[in-house]
Amino acid sequence: MKINCKGKLIDLSTPKVMGILNLTPDSFYDGGTLKSDKDILTKVDGMLADGATFIDVGGYSSKPNAEDVSEEEELKRVLPVIELLVNKYPNILISIDTFRSRIAKMTVSTGACIVNDISAGNLDATMFTSIAELQVPYIIMHMQGTPKTMQVNPTYTDVTKDLIFYFSKKLNALRKLGVNDIIIDVGFGFGKTIEQNYQLLNNLDLFQNFEVPILSGVSRKSMLYKALETTPNKALNATTVANTIALLKGSSILRVHDVKEAVEAIKIVSLL
What are residue 114's DSSP bridge partners? 95
Question: What whole-number distance in Å separates Cα of residue 126 and Cα of residue 119?
Answer: 12
Which whole number is the average pLDDT over 8-13? 95
**Where along the chain do its domains lie?**
11-266
DSSP states along 62-97: -STTPPP--HHHHHHHHHHHHHHHHHH-TT--EEEE
Whole-number CA gyration radius for the chain: 17
Query: Where residue 209 falls among pLDDT bands split at 50, 70, 90?
Result: very high
250 has a pLDDT exceeding 80: yes
Pairing of strands 2-5, 8-11: antiparallel
pLDDT (0 to 100) of residue 150: 66
* pTM (two decimals): 0.93
Question: What whole-number distance in Å separates Cα of residue 80 and Cα of residue 97?
Answer: 15
pLDDT (0 to 100) of residue 181: 97
pLDDT in tens, 141-179: 999 877 777 677 788 999 999 999 999 999 999 999 999
Instruction: Assign domain 11-266 one CATH number from 3.40.1390.30, 3.20.20.20, 1.10.486.10, 3.20.20.100.
Output: 3.20.20.20
pLDDT (0 to 100) of residue 142: 96
In degrees rounded to 5, what are phi and psi of residue 178? 90, 20
Return the sign of the alpha-carbon dihedral for residues 2, 16, 114, 207: positive
Q: Which residues are catalytic?
A: 221, 255
Query: Where residue 29 falls among pLDDT bands split at 50, 70, 90?
Result: very low
Question: How many CB atoms sit inside 10 A of residue 1's CB?
Answer: 13
- Average pLDDT value over all residues in the chain: 92
CB 138 within 8 A of CB 131: yes
pLDDT in tens, 107-143: 999 999 999 999 999 999 999 999 999 999 999 999 9
